[in-house]
Amino acid sequence: MTNQKTVVVTGGTRGIGHGLALELLKRGNNVVICGRGQSAVNSALTELNPAATDGARVAGTTCDVTKHDQVQALWGLAKKEFGDVDIWINNAGMSNTRFPIGRLPQDEVDAVPAVNLVGTMNGAQVALKGMEEQGHGALYNFEGFGSNGMKQHGMSLYGCTKFGLTYFTKALIKETKDSPVIVGYMSPGIVITDLSLRDRGKMPPDRWEYVKKVFNIIADRVETVTPWLVEQVLANDKHGARIAWLTSRKAAGRFIKSRFKSPGNRFPELDLTDDQHAA
């Protein structure tokens, strides 16, 4: 494959990151993933290996993105295994329990900003430095709920990290306008993953029914969103591009359509019992 690229996906052991890695490998690109636990990394590599085509390979390692030296080691692994790194995707992220800030456990208050903001900053610093030295590359940061300033009950902590991350990305785009590195955003919209379902057994029933209704209207599956995101990233050559699956227009259209036709239960897993969900 003459156009084979090497792509680093942080947090690529599950959810959207895992889906991105899978689609990249299917298209013959080398992928490097990371996760916080060795067992998760090993399991992901076992699942991803069979998807590789055209001689592509996947490598992975443990990495706490809040630790700069570990992120630097991730870059080093990619360089050692594949040479130049063409694309770096800061996907690793963490959500909080959907409680008001006064009810959140302190470990979440500490961890969510650390992973979402400091982790992205570490990834950006390492990738930009390395890509500028090699003379080319592309860096993408993941947007999420709150990036546009939207507010929702129980999402103040997570939302503010994504709002800050969008500011950070805008600043990077300006700072790198004369560099050989492309910087942009990725925005998957609402995707059903283990993180989005983590609060199923913690919310009051009426609150969960509301969340489930919203999910059924505008949420999508990993396998629906990630092929499109990967195609857009591989094709993009524009600095400052925002690669967004769920645009405001698309979301508004889905809500309007839902007024005339119920979307039904598009995600059977939303009705799992607490015990099944915990498993």
> What tens digit of pLDDT does each residue of 44-74 get?
999 999 999 999 999 999 999 999 999 999 9
pLDDT of residue 262: 81
First to last CA, the chain: 41
Quick check: 200 pLDDT over 70? no
Q: Just give the CATH number of 6-194+219-247.
A: 3.40.50.720
Helix (H, G, I), strand (E, B) or coil at 36: coil
For 201-265, the DSSP string reads TTS-HHHHHHHHHHHHHH-EEHHHHHHHHHHHHHH---TT-EEESS-HHHHHHHHHHHHHS----
The full set of domain ranges for the chain reads 6-194+219-247
Percentage of the chain modeled with pLDDT above 90: 68
Quick check: 4 pLDDT over 70? yes
Q: Identify the helix (H) or strand (E) that includes residue 152.
A: none
Helix (H, G, I), strand (E, B) or coil at 65: coil
pLDDT of residue 199: 66
| pTM of the complete model beyond 0.75 | yes
Catalytic residue among 140, 158, 167, 185: 158
Compute φ and ψ for 75, nearest 5 degrees.
-60, -45
From residue 101, alpha-carbon distances to 88, 106, 144 in Å are 32, 10, 19
From residue 48, alpha-carbon distances to 7, 115, 124 in Å are 14, 24, 25
140 is catalytic: no
**Given pLDDT bands bounded at 50, 70 and 90, which one contains residue 214?**
confident
| Mean of the per-residue pLDDT values of the chain | 89
Q: Give me the mean pLDDT over the 232-239 stretch.
A: 98
Quick check: 275 pLDDT over 50? no
> Half-sphere exposure of residue 230, counting CA atoms within 13 Å on the CB side?
26
CA 5 to chain CA centroid, Å, is 19
Q: Give me the mean pLDDT over the 150-176 stretch.
A: 93
Q: Give me the mean pLDDT over the 21-40 stretch.
A: 97
Q: What digits encode the pLDDT tens for the residues 88-99?
A: 999 999 988 888
Could you count the other beta carbons within 10 Å of the beta carbon of residue 78? 25
